[in-house]
Amino acid sequence: MLVLTRKPGEQIMIGDGIVITVLEGRGDGVRIGIEAPRGVPIQRREVIEAIAAANLAAAAAGPDAEDALRGLMPPTAPPAGPAAPAAG
C-alpha cells in the first residue's frame, strides 16, 4: 500500500486517466474529488460489499421465494383483449 500525505488542493494521479484531489479535511475524515473516464466505475467499498451480500442472499433463496414475492405484490388486472367494434 502506498501511503501519501497531501494538503487540500493537492492531487494524486493514478495511471493516465484518474486524478484524485484532496478537497478538505473534516474532523476525522477527508473530502476527496475523483476524476476518471466514464467507463471507470467508482463506488465506496461498503456499497460494493452490501451489493455482494444482497446478491449472495438472493442466490441462496429457497424454491418458494418466488411465490413469497408474488404474495407480497398487489394483484394485477389481466391484459385487455382487442377492443369491441363500435356499434353504428
pTM of the predicted protein model:
0.59
The residue written with cell numbers 394485477 in the block is 76
Structural domain includes residue 46: yes
User: What pLDDT is attached to residue 75?
Assistant: 79
Kindly state whether residue 41 falls inside one of the protein's structural domains.
yes
Quick one: cell of 57? 442472499
Cα(63)–Cα(29) distance, integer angstroms:
45
Q: Is 88 exposed, middle or buried (0-12, 13-18, 19+ CB in 10 A)?
A: exposed
Any domain includes 56: yes
The count of domains in the chain is 1
CB 38 within 8 A of CB 46: no
- Confirm whether 39 is domain-assigned: yes
* Residue 22 falls inside a structural domain: yes
Average pLDDT of adjacent 10-residue blocks, the chain of 88 residues: 93 95 92 95 94 88 79 78 69
Domain that holds residue 33: 11-60
Please report the pLDDT score of residue 88 as a whole number: 61
Question: How far is residue 48's CA from residue 74's CA, in Å, rounded to a whole number?
Answer: 31
